[in-house]
Chains A and B, each alone.
Chain A
Amino acid sequence: MFDFLTFIPRAIMQGIPLLYGSTGETLTEKSGNLNLGIPGIMYVGAISGVIGAFFYESSVSPETFNGLLAVLITLLATLLGSLLMGLLYCFLTVTLRANQNVTGLAMTTFGVGFGNFFGGSLIKLSGNSMPYLALTNTSLAFQTKLPSADTTGWFGQLFLSYGFLAYLAVILSLIAAYVLKRTRIGLHLRAVGENPATADAAGISVNRYKYAATCIGSMIAGLGGLYYVMDYAGGIWSNNAFGDRGWLAIALVIFTIWRPNLGIISSFLFGGLYILHMYIPTGTNLAIKELYKMAPYVVTIIVLIISSIRNKRENQPPASLGLSYFREER
């Protein structure tokens, strides 16, 4: 019998980093920036948090360890690290109007390298003989569940058994959906992404919106990396463990047709597809597992194709996605 009660919480936990990534990327893309640097930014966010937590943990003794302070320091470090990456991307693509795809790919190379380099250095600093770094105390603070998670049976297991960052992800995507759809700021942002020249003529500061959306988007994506290390992986950083989740987050944006609220359920679905191979009994045939791992990518492609064939106007990407805006060039 397929064990839903353990599968669904695992799928949700697997989906949370994707949800952060896709919420951040949706905001970014709504401003017309196709940020392919998200995978790198998520690495940088994760390692920045790890660096913060590492220095906090090694500077205080276990007795004086303050969980709340550890969480705050880690969060701040993550936000700062990913903000810097977002600023770099904006400076290159908005101010210097560089090609967005190339900049994004360079950021991914840089970010993944940055994460693995400092991860490796910290592992050496910590004197651990194993190729990973364990930040158990900080991680425990991040993993603190809601109070009645263990006493309410299946309900608790399905809905209450996550660390606070998981709920934050859902809340952030709901806020993002609300802001984009219902507020003036969201309207302006969408205008910038659809047609910057028109937005400019209407008195909207295009560059300011692009900068703000991309930087906030990067910070949200960075939190996804942090969630993965601190909550999902139990505070254990090992190089390249985060894998290709950043690319999946970008794919999710398309899957959700640029709607952060749809992102919640779809990211859980993707999380499920991502770990499906562990739950399907295959007996001794290990090779077939590798084919099951294709599932999220195949589903993304199918969605891409279907949404392009149906070609509904409200399901299209922002019209000026991937293009730099220069006022004097129309």
Chain B
Amino acid sequence: MANKTREPLVHISRRSTLPWYQSWGIRACALILSLGVCALVTMFTTGENPLSVFGAIYDASFSSQRRTWVLLQNIAMLLSVSLAVVPAFKMRFWNLGGEGQMLAGALATTACMICLRDAFPNGALIPVMIVCSIAAGALWGFVPAFFKAKWGTNETLFTLMMNYIAIQLVSFFIIVWEMPKGAGQIGIINQSTEIGWLPPVAGQKYLLNIIVVAVLTVFMFIYMKYSKHGYEISVVGESVRTARYVGIKVEKVIIRTMVLSGALCGLTGLLLVSGTDHTLTTTITGGRGFTAVMVAWLAKFNPIWMILTSFLLVFLDKGAGDISTKFGLNKSFSDILTGIILFFIIGSEFFINYRISFRHSAKKEETEHV
């Protein structure tokens, strides 16, 4: 060739879809790499050898039966929020308001437990609580969806701001209901009567929560994959124009999906207050609304894979938390480790979606041809 054009060192092109075992293989590699980096970081900060660090992570979840139950409970709660936000994400509606929707549900539950404890017997109160929490969460999801559908208002920031409004509402009511006066907290609600507490199943405090979430997982899988609604959601997510063209009422789908998303978040709020903590604090959600974004996204919005990703995040979080107490480190250590792992997995998506070919190989071909 006479006129030599400069060829870039790497050439990137889009891959056609990889078979599932290859794409999950790449993700697994990323995970292993990230664990390696985490081990290095832990080694530097604690001076402990990485194997015993991993041992400690494992022990944090599986060394006793109680710990395993706590692990399962935490997975269930995270999974529940993730299931709630997944239809919205699939629709490319960035619902970052899981926190607020959960808090709204939690607040409604608490209101029922405190204000209606003398009005209803326990058997009637719990259904009332369920209805109220779902309605509150749905309302919190409806507001941003309405404005998005009607005027295209940016949902990312709207839902984010709704979180803070919910937080302030909760802190307002915490002061209104504080027990004892001036304590700045509600304390355990109905401790002696246990009115409005979700009952233990088979002697296990958390089993009911876990069963509810398991049912939700199956429901969401079927809803997304086999129902007409689920199909409409994915069409709107892929292309709003196509959806309009085939006669899907986009506005209706947006509002309906967000109401569902908010409602499930609200139900999670109920599980947290009535099924777990029996109190209300502004931090009861524990940032799960944000972690749910990662859980859903890492699992490519597939409810079944989400069991795995939420297990992974909870397991690591517990492990890192344990390491930090064991070595006298700060609690935030787990956030750093979670961050590192997420960066690797986020980065690995590139290698699933794109093929990289180097200049080197191209040159070789050329010489072979000559």
Query: Would B161 and A291 count as touching, CB distance under 8 A?
Result: no
- Indicate whether A205 reaches chain B with its CB closer than 8 angstroms: no
Complex Cα distance A250/B332, Å?
Answer: 24
- Residues in B with CB closer than 8 Å to A129 are none
Cα distance, A286 to B177, chains bound together (Å): 12
The answer to whether B336 touches A114 (Cβ under 8 A) is yes
Looking at B109-117, B146-154, B223-231, the stretch in contact with chain A turns out to be B146-154
Residue of A109, A288, A317 touching B342 (CB-CB under 8 A) = A109
Task: Check if B175 sits within 8 Å of A286, measured CB to CB.
Answer: yes
Residues of the B chain whose Cβ atoms lie less than 8 Å from the Cβ of A63? none
Task: Tell me, in angstroms, the Cα distance from A115 to B332 when the chains sit together.
Answer: 8
Evaluate whether A297 and B165 lie within 8 angstroms (CB atoms) in the complex, with A117-B332, A117-B336 already known: yes
Query: Which chain B residues lie closer than 8 Å to A329 at the CB level?
Result: 14
Q: For chain B, which range describes its interface: under 10, 10 to 19, 20 to 34, or 35 or more residues?
A: 35 or more
- Interface of B, helix, strand, loop or mixed by DSSP: helix
| In the complex, chain B residues whose CB is within 8 Å of the CB of A113 | 332-336, 338-339
Interface of A is mostly: helix
Instruction: Tell me which residues from 319 to 335 in chain B have a Cβ below 8 Å from any Cβ of chain A.
Output: 328-335
Are B157 and A291 within 8 A (Cβ)? no
B343 within 8 A of A: yes
CB distance A293 to B335 under 8 Å?
Answer: no
A112 contacts B332, C-beta separation under 8 Å: yes
Which single member of B175, B334, B335 contacts A287 (CB below 8 Å)? B175
Measured CB to CB, the closest approach of chain A to B164, in angstroms, equals: 4
Whole-angstrom CA separation of A113 from B349 in the bound complex: 24
Residues of A contacting B31 in the complex (Cβ-Cβ under 8 angstroms): none
Q: Are the CB atoms of B293 and A101 closer together than 8 Å?
A: yes
The residue that A109 contacts in the complex, of B151, B172, B290, B297, with Cβ under 8 A, is: B290
* Chain A, range 138-169, C-beta contacts under 8 Å to B: none
CB-based nearest B residue for A293: B168
Asked if A251 and B350 make an inter-chain contact with CB atoms under 8 angstroms apart, the answer reads no
User: Are A247 and B335 interface neighbours, CB within 8 A?
Assistant: no
Residues in B whose Cβ lies below 8 Å from that of A12: none
Q: Is B367 an interface residue (CB 8 A)?
A: no
Interface string of B258-292 (1 = CB under 8 A from A): 00000000000000000000000000000100110
Kindly state the separation between the CA atoms of A85 and B192 in the bound complex, as whole angstroms.
50
Given known A98-B347, A98-B350, contact A105–B293 (CB-CB < 8 A): yes
Smallest beta-carbon distance B7→chain A, Å: 15
**With A102-B297, A103-B346 as contacts: A250 and B339 at CB distance below 8 Å:** no
A112 to chain B, nearest CB (A): 6
Q: Which residues of A contact B168 (CB under 8 A)?
A: 290-291, 293-294, 297
A305 touches B151 (CB 8 A): yes
- Name the A residues within 8 Å of B350 (CB-CB): 95-98
Cβ of B212 < 8 Å from any Cβ of A? no
A325 to B309, CA, bound (A): 28
A300 at the B interface (CB under 8 A)? yes
How long is the Cα–Cα vector from A97 to B165 in the complex, in angstroms?
33
Closest to B177 in A: A287
A36 to B290, CA, bound (A): 12
Question: Which residues of chain A have C-beta atoms less than 8 A from B290's C-beta?
Answer: 105, 108-109
- Contact yes or no, B165 A96, CB < 8 A: no
- 0/1 interface trace, chain A 107-145, chain B, CB 8 Å (1 if under): 111111111110111001000000000000000000000
- How far, in angstroms, from A160 to B168 measured CA to CA in the complex? 34
Interface string of B156-181 (1 = CB under 8 A from A): 11101110110011011101100000
- Decide if B294 touches A106 in the complex (CB within 8 Å): yes
Question: Given A102-B297, A106-B294, A110-B340, are A305 and B156 neighbors across the interface (CB < 8 Å)?
Answer: no
Is B94 on the interface with A (CB-CB < 8 A)?
A: yes
Chain B residues 290-316 with CB under 8 Å of chain A are 290-291, 293-294, 297
Given known pairs A106-B343, A112-B335, A114-B336, the reply for A308 and B154 (CB within 8 Å) is yes
A245 to B158, CA, bound (A): 16
Q: CB within 8 A of A116: which of B171, B293, B332, B342?
A: B332
Q: Cα distance A244–B332 when bound, in Å?
A: 17
A115 to B330, CA, bound (A): 11
Residues of A near B338 (CB, < 8 A) are 109-110, 113
CB under 8 Å from chain B, chain A span 17-76: 34, 36
B3 at the interface (CB under 8 A from A): no
Pair B346/A290 contact, Cβ less than 8 Å: no
Asked whether, in the complex, the Cβ of A328 is within 8 Å of the Cβ of B13, the reply is yes
Q: Which residue of A91, A106, A115, A329 has the most chain B CB atoms within 10 A of its CB atom?
A: A106
Chain B residues closer than 8 Å to A175, beta-carbon distance: none
| A residues near B294, Cβ cutoff 8 Å | 102, 105-106
Closest beta carbon of chain B to A145's beta carbon, Å: 33
Given contacts A308-B153, A328-B13, contact A109 B164 (CB under 8 A): no
Using a CB–CB cutoff of 8 Å, the interface residues on chain A facing chain B are 34, 36, 88, 91-92, 95-99, 101-103, 105-117, 119-121, 124, 239, 244, 247, 250-251, 254, 286-288, 290-291, 293-294, 297-298, 300-301, 304-305, 308-309, 311, 317, 326, 328-329
10 closest pairs, A vs B, by CB? A113-B335, A110-B339, A120-B330, A116-B332, A96-B350, A287-B175, A106-B342, A308-B153, A290-B172, A117-B332
Q: Can you list 7 A-B pairs with a CB-CB distance of less than 8 A?
A: A109-B291, A116-B332, A121-B329, A297-B165, A298-B161, A304-B158, A311-B152
Contacts A99-B349, A308-B153 known; 15 new A-B pairs at CB < 8 A: A88-B343, A92-B347, A98-B349, A103-B346, A106-B339, A109-B335, A116-B330, A117-B330, A121-B330, A290-B172, A293-B168, A294-B169, A297-B164, A304-B161, A305-B151
